[in-house]
Amino acid sequence: MFGKFKLLRSKIILLNACIAFVVAGVIGGIACWNSNQSAIRAAHEGLREQTRLQAAKVRNKFLEMKNDAYVLANSSSVGGIERTSKRGDLVDPLDGSTAGQWKERLTNAFLSLATIRDHYTQIRFIGIADEGRELVRVNRVAGKLRVVEENALQQKVCEPYMQRLLSHSTKSPFFSEVTFNRENNAVGEPKVPTIRCVVPTYFGNRLFGAIVINADYAGWLQEAIEVANVNRSMYVVDSNENYLVYHPGTRGIGFAFHQSGDYVGSKVVKRLHTLSKPLTILADDKMFFCYKLVQDFSDHESMGIGVIIGIGVDQLLATPRRLNQVMIGVASLLVAMSVVVAIVLGSRLTRPLREMSIELNKLAGNPHASISLPTTQPDEIGLLATTFTETLNSLRDSQSEAMELIGRLEASNRELDEFAYVASHDLKAPLRVIENATQWLIEDLSGLDADSLENLKLVRSRAVRMESLLDDLLTFSRIGRLYTDGYTEQIRADELVNEIASLVSPPSGIEVRVCKDLHDISVKRMPLEQVLLNLVSNSVKHHDKDTGTVEVRAFQDEHEITFEVEDDGPGIPEKYRSKVFKMFQTLKPRDQIEGSGMGLAIVEKHIRTIGGAIELETGKLGGCLFRIHWPKCVEEGIHKQGFKLCDPQ
């Protein structure tokens, strides 16, 4: 994906676009969030204000009914009925009116009130005497007002509101719970959810009766919503989860009554109607709701009314979302403009670099080609061009010096090869003559005494040693420069060590033990064969017992193979351990041993040349333990043309 942005110009454009996108996104996101929060806060305030107003309207509706009942309860007609009821002649002592006249006057008052209150279904004056018999009653039937005849008046002592009136002996008005209208102690037809306002009346200090106004609960509450003309969802709910509901855009106002067979509860009502905190705001994923409990009208602990007004989240956020879309469009335009500006500026800023790249490409075909860089440009590009020019000149000078040194090294190597050739042929030729001559003298001169014969043998052995020394010196000089097929031949380590044991041919009492770990290790034959051969033969040659063990083992990790060659011979004192890896070093006089003293020096140079390391310590068997750290990169990189050397340790 990012391959298209390898050029600096593309990176500048991409960086600028990313910065513009992030800045626009952050600023736009903050602005959108603030816009949404402002809309929500404004909606909360609007909901609170509208809920407060609607709650006041609902409360006023209850106060209106209470005031109507209170006016009737304190009217002269009620007082006249109370006074005449205590006299046998049923004549009012104050003005001479009869009980019938006072009832007629109260009936007219009921009719006048019911005429202006369309949802009052009954207005009654009930006395507590005679099992709570109604004294005056006006009904609304099919929209028409009808005065109930005296013989049709009912006893209401069993009704809950009358029981409360009698049991509490309260002088305060109260409202009943909402139930179906009841006639003659049974639910009447049609079934109308009814609320009742009860205002007690007293004759002196004695309870005489009560004015009771019945209202069609649904129609009566609906007047408050119709007057309000709200444009948001609205619920009026009481403590029995009866609720009036209105949604803008729907037909009419719905009402649900808990005693109806088709009653369907509302989650909103269930969640909110029990709250008591004024103007509570709650929300779900679709609506914001404000709840106001209307408490002022009710003195009955089981009766409570609340108003809920809600607004949909989509409706609430419609304006902020339109604003957000405009802001997103503006932000996108700004990002696009910034990309265009970045393209123009990126092209201008990187033009000198592109020209430098064209000039520098000329060096690919000809390192000594003449190039022109903008060293006079007064900015970082000019500084870069100047630095590159100075570096290029320095590299060219260094390359000239390196070529000169390489030439000298090649000449030195040729001289060394010539010396090796001379040492191999010219210097060894006289030694072979001496060796052969002494052998002939020993064979031809049979009458030599013992001392003369010993001297001739000594001369011959020194010539043989000198020839071996020349061979070792030639091998030492060629380490790292001479490669044979053995440098590419792959072999298992255990097979290589077994071959070395056969070449060494140790005495019958000395065992060369090959550990099984070597079976799982594969190596190049050379130069490891020369290293292990010298170490194994050295352990066998310098063993001080008739019987003994030389053990070869190995283990590997991700980076190297570690070989260990251990014997149970005399060992090497610690003070001589750093000395034994130098040329011509032996721990015994040369007359007592056969060897040039070059074996460990050859081992050390092989290992040092490939970047490995060798350690010498006393092993568990009591003799010498040579530990070789053999880099795996050597096994991967040795080829016929030369080494792939590892970094020296």
The domain 230-316 is placed in CATH, from the list 3.40.50, 1.10.3470, 3.30.450, 2.60.120, at 3.30.450
CA distance 346 to 8: 8
CA distance 581 to 613: 12
Closest CA to 605 of 475, 496, 500: 475
pLDDT (0 to 100) of residue 649: 40
What's the pLDDT tens digit per position in 500-548? 888 888 888 888 888 888 888 888 887 888 888 888 888 888 888 888 8
Q: Return the CATH fold of 481-637.
A: Heat Shock Protein 90 (3.30.565)
pLDDT (0 to 100) of residue 508: 85
Which residues are 548's β-sheet partners? 510
As annotated, the residues of the chain forming the CATH 3.30.565.10 domain(s) are: 481-637
On whether the pTM is more than 0.85, the answer is no
pLDDT (0 to 100) of residue 30: 84
Ranges of residues in the chain with a pLDDT under 50 are 1-2, 227, 296-298, 300-302, 638-645, 647-649
DSSP helix/strand/coil, 277: coil
Which residues are 134's β-sheet partners? 126
Span 74-220 CATH architecture: 2-Layer Sandwich (3.30)
CA distance 49 to 175: 27
pLDDT (0 to 100) of residue 641: 38
410 contacts: CB under 8 Å, gap ≥ 6:
none
What are the b/e assignments for 30-56, b being 16+ CB within 10 Å? eebeebbeebbeebbebbbebbbebbb
pLDDT (0 to 100) of residue 647: 45
CA distance 362 to 31: 54
**287-294 and 280-283 strand pairing:** antiparallel
Closest CA to 10 of 411, 398, 354: 354
What's the pLDDT tens digit per position in 99-140? 889 999 999 999 999 999 999 999 999 999 888 899 999 999
pLDDT (0 to 100) of residue 276: 56
C-beta separation of 126 from 209 below 8 A: yes
Q: How far is CA 374 from the centre of its chain?
A: 48
pLDDT (0 to 100) of residue 69: 93
